Structure 1
Amino acid sequence: MPARLLHYSDLENGYDDPTRLGRLAGLVADRRSPDTVVVGTGDNTAPGVLSMVEEGRQALDFFEAVDPAADTFGNHDFDYGLDAIREIVADSPQTWVSANVELDGDTFGESVGVVPSTVVNADGAAVGLVGVTEPKTASMCPGATDLTFTDPVAAVSREAESLRAQGVDAVVVLSHLGGDDDELARETDVDAILGGHVHSERVERVDDTILTRPGANGHTLLEIDLEAGTVDRHAVQDGPVDQSVRTALAARRDATGLDEVVGHVSDPLIRDRDRKGRGECRIGNFIADAYRWAADADVGLQNSGGIREGDPLLGEVTVADLVSVVPFDEPVTVAELTGSELRQLCRQADGWQFSALPDRWHAHVSGLSIREDDSGQITATIDGGPIADDETYTLATSDYLFHTDHEFPVLDGHHRVESLDTQYEILAAYARQRGIDPEIEGRIVRAAHETSDQRVGEPID
């Protein structure tokens, strides 16, 4: 079985750094040989600054240069609706494999070439590829609400049996399931599961199945040798630059018209996965403050997952920089909640109490103070005083949270009272008028989650 896989995933904001994506394309070319199969595992069209402007089509610059064998859908690949991703599929060189995404009972995208699985020849070795997507995508992404996401274990089992019957040398899953890859490995007969969705790197074995994730934003390329059972990690920053990709993405970036400087940052605003998902942080305070200010609301709220990872904000900050923080073309929405509902929302900020992402703290707030004691009990105050159950409070947050039951299920469409500008436009307006100088203020204190970076009673940044 002399086959090697080159695995990328979750390129997302990586497109906003043309040199990085140029290096990723150059590294793929450098590592390629006749026995190589190049594959992606979702969220390789969105989100990001260029993605929002181009509705995901900036990915075609990379796809055309790299010429992957296959890719599958991530939840963000549906950010701009079904027609937009269909057009990308039709115009891209790779085969898109999707075994558990259906529209009206048929494989989604079947008319433009999407198939549940495919067989690729790698220097005489037949490698079967099957793709699956997080079943909660319809809840997570407004653009995917018309789709049905079936059980990925059943879908992979069905396709693996078919591929084995065709005599393939190996069955490889292209997965955008995140943490559910482990169950997939235990319940199906496959040789490797190449994953995405979760933004941390991973190289492990579960029940003799190789499991990998390269992380997000195009920093890492993984090379899997199926015969030897080994995985090599290649840092993209060390790769040669594909000038065609860098030039094409730079031209798209220059054409966005989002280069206005709206503020300055002297102390770096960090937005990495660990910081934004563990409690209070400066970037979260900045966003929540901006929402509250724009709406003149009692409370501002930003969900942790909506803050996208990337380089720290430092020095001159442009509109494009703020788009990269929340790269979604959706408005800030004002809602009315009772005090009882507001306290419920505070309890739902902790993923251990509700969420498919139990390791994440979900809330960044303005106007609220939230305390979690060492038993996990959560209490909250508003502007230093108690929250009255029968009082009505106004909340400004991303419109996404009224669509999904994946986070803050207490919020629903009936709470909406007003829509404001797009998220990044709110951030830019706030930066122009109020500056960008957020501080840690003790808005969120999590005694039950003390770490080496956080003493009891002190929020982290």
Structure 2
Amino acid sequence: MAPRLVHYSDVENVYDTPERAGRLAGLLEDLDGEDALLAGSGDDTSPGVLALVEDGAQALDFFDAVEPDVETFGNHEFDHGLAALRDLVADSPQTWVSANVWADRDADERFAADAGVVPATVLEADGATVGVVGVTTERTGSINPEATAVEFADPIEAARDALADLDADYRVVLSHLGRRDEELARAVDADAILGGHVPTERRDRIDGTLLTRPGDGGSVVLEIDLATGEVTRHSVADAPLHEGVADAMRTRLAETGLNEVVGTVEEPIDRAETTLFGGESRLGNLVADAYRQETGADVGLQNSGGVRTGDPLEGEITAADLVSVTPFEERVVVAEVPGDALREAFEWAASPDLGFAESGWWHAQISGATVAWDPDAHRVESVEVGGEPVADDRSYTVALSDYVLHTDDEFPSLRESQRVERWGIQYEVLVEYARETGVAPEIEGRIAEVSDAERPEVTER
């Protein structure tokens, strides 16, 4: 008895790239079999351009073709509201497991139980039984305004309780906890934790429990032999193409009406997570400049995690291409921020504390300001706005996504009480900026590592 798990996660905007969506489906279909269980660990319906238009339902084309066995919620499953998610769960072929998401915990009412969501399930593959539990980060209500109406219990306690009730040959947790997977592994008795939420890959063990994470963007699938613990990495780029899925996404994209060309890029603009979280990036500059030009604020600020990874922007750029960069129904707002709070925000951007990121990443893309930071010490050395050091005794106007003021996970010194103006939806602001200004961002030395400060040139990451 040697069941295999086929693990995908955080495919997010893969649906906006029809060929990649088709190859992901082709790979999962190729790896499936009577001894296999196809498992997703969240953020497999949103965000993205098609997700915005279809409320995440474009994922049903993919799910119906692949027929996964089991799935849990990521924070982005809630992007389009509870009713849309409940409908998606009811219409999808896989079993959704969620041990810590409640509609009303006091009333013992689990979210979407009427649509088929269960805290755990037992599946069979190759003559063995596999018990599967699902948990989602309890910070979801903070990082997703559409999830504030449901309750997220402690995921580790919920996983422990759900696993205790399982009678199976193997025990698996689908986890959308990010860096808390280590804590989870030490707290529960499980053979494997299939993780997500952090956009980098993982394959290791903690206290005898296998931990896996395929990264984001639907680029990698991990195959796990539960009997041996062996993990095989499969690249989606090399997979056979599922024409049905690819054609479905092409058709949906054509129907969005977002195919207007709004600019041309001569030098490809990279969208890899190592670029977006590595300091100054051309794409981050484009977004932050758009916010500042639209509002006339002193500073434009974009959280790095709010710029989505994907294929490079190159050649003719459509409205859909730019919507995919920040595909959220969030408004650009202006906040009036005291100087000490602005400096504190940039100090947070250098910190290692964000649960869905790696230590040493930088979390802010900026316009109108310059920052010098030490990535090894997680410390900001200097902050200037308009060429002058930030002064504690004055206030600065900052253009940013309303999400940043909502969440207490990111930039905690920036608060809703500081909001003074609301502007347009962030992707609409970006598209209009491209129409008026073009799409030609450059690296300008806005964010410099202290160790690089004496270099005569700043090069593209």
Q: Same fold (TM over 0.5)?
A: yes
What is the match of residue 170 of structure 2? 170
1:455/1:131 CA distance change after superposition, 3 Å: farther
Q: Distance in 2 between matches of 1:350 and 1:367?
A: 18
The one-letter amino acid paired with 2:433 is Y
What is the match of residue 53 of structure 2? 53
The one-letter amino acid paired with 1:195 is G
| Deviation per residue, 1:342-388 (Å, 9 max, x gap) | 22222222123x54444321111111111225862432111111323
Q: Distance in 2 between matches of 1:188 and 1:10?
A: 23
8 Å CA contact retained: 1:447, 1:456: no
Task: State the SS of the aligned residue for 1:327.
Answer: coil
What is the match of residue 369 of structure 2? 368
1:456/1:119 CA distance change after superposition, 3 Å: farther
What is the match of residue 297 of structure 1? 297
| Deviation per residue, 1:95-133 (Å, 9 max, x gap) | 100011112103211111111000011132111000011
Task: State the SS of the aligned residue for 1:266.
Answer: strand
Q: Distance in 2 between matches of 1:28 and 1:217?
A: 15
Q: Distance in 2 between matches of 1:286 and 1:48?
A: 19
Q: Distance in 1 between matches of 2:59 and 2:266?
A: 33
Mapped pair 1:419 → 2:419: no
Q: Distance in 2 between matches of 1:41 and 1:355?
A: 19
Mapped pair 1:248 → 2:251: no
What is the match of residue 386 of structure 2? 383
Q: Distance in 2 between matches of 1:316 and 1:49?
A: 17
The one-letter amino acid paired with 1:102 is W
Mapped pair 1:188 → 2:191: no
Q: Distance in 1 between matches of 2:360 and 2:407?
A: 19
**Aligned sequence identity (%):** 53
1:176/1:455 CA distance change after superposition, 3 Å: farther
1:400 Cα deviation from its structure 2 partner: 0.6
The one-letter amino acid paired with 2:339 is G
8 Å CA contact retained: 1:370, 1:445: yes
1:456/1:406 CA distance change after superposition, 3 Å: farther
Q: Distance in 2 between matches of 1:343 and 1:11?
A: 34
What is the match of residue 349 of structure 2? 349
1:84/1:455 CA distance change after superposition, 3 Å: farther
1:267/1:279 CA distance change after superposition, 3 Å: same
What is the match of residue 277 of structure 1? 277
Mapping for residues 95-134 of structure 1, pairs under 5 Å: 95-105=95-105, 106-134=109-137
- Of 293-302 and 13-22, more deviation after overlay is shown by 13-22
1:60 Cα deviation from its structure 2 partner: 0.4
Task: State the SS of the aligned residue for 2:388.
Answer: coil
What is the aligned length?
A: 454
1:457 Cα deviation from its structure 2 partner: 8.9
1:331 Cα deviation from its structure 2 partner: 1.1
Unaligned residue ranges in structure 1 (runs of 5+): none
What is the match of residue 430 of structure 1? 433
Unaligned residue ranges in structure 2 (runs of 5+): none
Q: Distance in 2 between matches of 1:382 and 1:41?
A: 41
Mapped pair 1:266 → 2:266: yes
What is the match of residue 212 of structure 2? 212
The one-letter amino acid paired with 1:98 is S
8 Å CA contact retained: 2:135, 2:174: yes
- TM-score, normalised with respect to structure 1: 0.95
The one-letter amino acid paired with 2:386 is D
1:318 Cα deviation from its structure 2 partner: 0.7
1:3 Cα deviation from its structure 2 partner: 0.7
The one-letter amino acid paired with 1:435 is G
Task: State the SS of the aligned residue for 2:324.
Answer: helix
- TM-score, normalised with respect to structure 2: 0.95
